[in-house]
Amino acid sequence: MKDILHILKYKIILFMKMNTPVTFMSLVKSTGISIIYILFAVGFFIFTKNTVSYLLDSVKIGSFLLHRFIMIVLFMFFVSINIGNIVVSFSTLFKSAETAWFFTKPISFTKVFLIKFLDNFFYSSTTLLLIISAALLGYGVYFNLSWYLYPVILLLIILPFMFSAGSLGAVILLIILRLAAKFGLRKVITILGVIYASWVFGFYYISSPIDLVRKVFQYFPNINQYFGFLENPLIKVLPNRWVADSLYWITKEQYIKAIPLIINNLILSIALFCLAMLVAKKWYYKTWLTSLELNSDIKINNTIKPCFFGFEKKSHLNSLDEVIIKREFLLFIREPGQWIHLSVMMFLMTIFIIGISGIRIIIAENYYNDYLKTIIYLVVSMFSIFMVAALSLRFVFPLISLEGETVWKIRSSPIDHKPLLVKRLLVYFALIFILGQLITFFANFQFPFELSIIGQLNSTFIIISIVSLNFGMGGYFSNYKEKNPIRIASSQGASITFLFVILYLVLLISLMFIPVFNYFKSAHTILDAPLRDLIFTSLVLFILSLIIAFIFINLGLKSFKRDI
DSSP at 238: -
Contact criterion met (CB below 8 Å) for 152 and 160: no
In this prediction, residue 297 has a pLDDT band, given cuts at 50, 70 and 90, of low
Q: Which residue has the higher pLDDT, 182 or 156?
A: 156
* DSSP H or E stretch at residue 113: helix 109-123
Above 50 in pLDDT, residue 176?
Answer: yes
Chain segment 405-428, per-residue pLDDT in tens: 666 666 666 666 777 788 888 888
Give the rounded percent of residues in the chain with a pLDDT score beyond 70.
Answer: 77
In this prediction, residue 88 carries a pLDDT of 77
Alpha-carbon span 147 to 141, nearest angstrom: 9
Residues with Cβ within 8 Å of residue 204, at least 6 apart in sequence:
355
Alpha-carbon span 122 to 124, nearest angstrom: 5
- Residue by residue, what is the 3-state secondary structure of 409-446? HHHHCCCCHHHHHHHHHHHHHHHHHHHHHHHHHHHHCC
In this prediction, residue 356 carries a pLDDT of 60
Write the burial class of residue 74 (CB in 10 Å: 0-12 exposed, 13-18 middle, 19+ buried). Answer: buried
Q: Which residue has the higher pLDDT, 348 or 85?
A: 85
- Find the mean pLDDT for residues 83-100: 78
Alpha-carbon span 539 to 543, nearest angstrom: 6
Q: Which residue has the higher pLDDT, 411 or 329?
A: 329
In this prediction, residue 266 carries a pLDDT of 94
Q: Is the dihedral angle over the CA atoms 32, 38, 39, 40 positive or is it negative?
A: positive
Q: Which residues of 391-415 are buried (b: 16+ CB within 10 A; e: fewer)?
A: bbbbbbbbbbbbbeeebeeeeeeee
In this prediction, residue 25 carries a pLDDT of 58
Residues with Cβ within 8 Å of residue 357, at least 6 apart in sequence:
446
Sequential DSSP letters for 47-100: HHHHHHHIIIIII---HHHHHHHHHHHHHHHHHHHHHHHHHHHIIIIII-HHHH
- The pLDDT mean for the chain works out to 78
Contact criterion met (CB below 8 Å) for 64 and 249: no
Chain segment 123-167, per-residue pLDDT in tens: 666 677 878 888 899 999 999 998 889 999 999 999 999 999 889
Chain segment 454-500, per-residue pLDDT in tens: 888 888 999 999 999 999 888 888 877 777 777 777 777 887 888 78
Alpha-carbon span 517 to 286, nearest angstrom: 58
Q: Which residues of 225-250 are buried (b: 16+ CB within 10 A; e: fewer)?
A: eebeeebeeebeebbbbbbbbbbbbb
In this prediction, residue 507 has a pLDDT band, given cuts at 50, 70 and 90, of confident
Above 90 in pLDDT, residue 267?
Answer: yes
Single-letter residue type at 187: K
In this prediction, residue 306 has a pLDDT band, given cuts at 50, 70 and 90, of low
Chain segment 354-412, per-residue pLDDT in tens: 666 555 545 545 445 667 777 777 877 777 787 888 888 888 888 888 776 666 666 66
In this prediction, residue 493 carries a pLDDT of 80
Above 60 in pLDDT, residue 300?
Answer: no
In this prediction, residue 262 has a pLDDT band, given cuts at 50, 70 and 90, of very high
In this prediction, residue 335 carries a pLDDT of 66
Alpha-carbon span 479 to 564, nearest angstrom: 9
Single-letter residue type at 84: G
In terms of Cα–Cα distance, which of 336, 291, 276 is closest to 99?
A: 291
In this prediction, residue 426 carries a pLDDT of 86
Least confident of 241-245, 529-533, 555-559: 529-533
In this prediction, residue 247 carries a pLDDT of 93
Above 70 in pLDDT, residue 13?
Answer: no
In three-state secondary structure terms, 317 is coil
